[in-house]
């Protein structure tokens, strides 16, 4: 039982990171109707931004961990949001009225550009970070298997829950959220009713990139290493999570992220770790066979 609880904690932690990235996918798809395949690399850029800012703070003598992490979070979100805005302006806005395949190809090109840009700027080797949030708690019998939950895991889960609550309120209660929901239903009608569609779409990319930067910081704190290729792997997993939960649904993205994290963790714990990705994608295929719109997604109604 203790071993099961340990893997449950690990799976929820990993799933929280996937869920934060998946929200960016699902927000963009909900409004633009297309997948931003550069989003995984925006997450990677956010992780590097967090690492650079933290090392800069240490270099100037700011070593108080709560203050340093708060500054890193704010600066990394701002800088990564700028990357998200740039991706929208370069890869999506000029091609918004084009055929559907053009923005997809453009986003893939932007993904390759970001990978190579970071590889040239930071090098191909992994960049380590010493443990920043040490310590944790233990549960279980002294003679048996002890369940460990680290302070980093607690920080990741609490941050994810808080951000999910904040963004749910933004989408449901604010004027920006109403504009996003209007654009999701009908961009042309929303424009006729006075909604600034270009601004709404840009802010959606900015919000998704900011969440991806938080996920990048959490990834950096959890694993302690980053490299230029983490965006591809995590991006594919997060996209799978968004589709599994129901692309276009914020709760679905978080649910899908948690499920992917739990599937990977439990499969690695009880079966062969080499096939954890096969297990995750197999579950996705099975769910989509019986629920084509995902677990919490709505069937897409074609307007005629």
Helix, strand and coil content of the chain, in percent to the nearest 5, comes to 75, 5, 20
C-alpha span between 230 and 208 (Å, rounded): 18
Rounded to 5 degrees, what are φ and ψ at 150? -85, 160
C-alpha span between 160 and 276 (Å, rounded): 24
C-alpha span between 150 and 10 (Å, rounded): 10
Digits of tens for pLDDT over the chain (304 positions)?
778 889 999 999 999 999 999 998 988 888 777 788 899 999 999 999 999 999 999 999 988 999 999 999 999 999 999 999 999 998 888 888 788 788 888 989 999 999 999 999 999 899 999 889 888 888 765 566 788 899 999 999 999 999 988 988 888 889 998 998 898 888 889 999 899 999 999 999 999 999 999 999 999 999 999 999 999 888 888 988 998 888 888 888 999 999 999 999 999 988 888 888 888 888 888 888 888 888 887 766 555 5
Instruction: Give the burial string for 70-107 (b: 16+ CB within 10 Å, else e).
Output: eebbebbbebbbebbeebbeebbbebbeeeeebbbebb
Query: H or E segment at 255?
Result: helix 250-270
């Amino acid at each position: 039982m203790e071993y099961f609880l340990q893997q449950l904690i690990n799976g929820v932690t990993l799933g929280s990171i996937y869920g934060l990235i998946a929200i960016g996918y699902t927000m963009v798809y909900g409004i633009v109707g297309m997948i931003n395949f550069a989003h995984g690399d925006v997450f990677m850029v956010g992780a590097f931004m967090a690492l650079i800012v933290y090392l800069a703070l240490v270099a100037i003598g700011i070593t108080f961990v709560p203050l340093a992490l708060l500054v890193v979070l704010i600066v990394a979100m701002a800088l990564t949001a700028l990357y998200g805005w740039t991706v929208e302006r370069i890869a999506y806005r000029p091609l918004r009225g084009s055929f559907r395949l053009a923005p997809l190809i453009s986003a893939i090109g932007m993904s390759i550009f970001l990978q190579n840009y970071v590889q040239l700027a930071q090098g191909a080797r992994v960049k380590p970070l010493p443990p920043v949030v040490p310590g944790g708690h233990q549960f279980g019998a002294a003679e048996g298997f002890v369940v460990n939950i680290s302070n980093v895991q607690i920080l990741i889960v609490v941050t994810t829950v808080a951000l999910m609550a904040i963004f749910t309120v933004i989408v449901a209660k604010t004027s920006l959220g109403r504009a996003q929901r209007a654009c999701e239903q009908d961009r042309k009608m929303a424009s006729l009713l006075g909604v600034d569609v270009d601004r709404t779409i840009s802010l959606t990319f900015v919000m998704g990139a900011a969440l991806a930067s938080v996920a990048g910081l959490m990834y950096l704190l959890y694993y302690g290493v980053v490299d230029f290729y983490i965006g591809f792997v995590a991006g594919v997993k997060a996209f799978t999570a968004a589709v599994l939960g129901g692309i276009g649904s914020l709760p679905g993205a978080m649910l899908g992220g948690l499920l992917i994290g739990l599937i990977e963790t439990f499969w690695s714990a009880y079966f062969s770790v080499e096939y954890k990705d096969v297990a995750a994608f197999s579950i996705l295929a099975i769910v989509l066979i019986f629920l084509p719109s995902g677990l919490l997604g709505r069937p897409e109604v074609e307007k005629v």
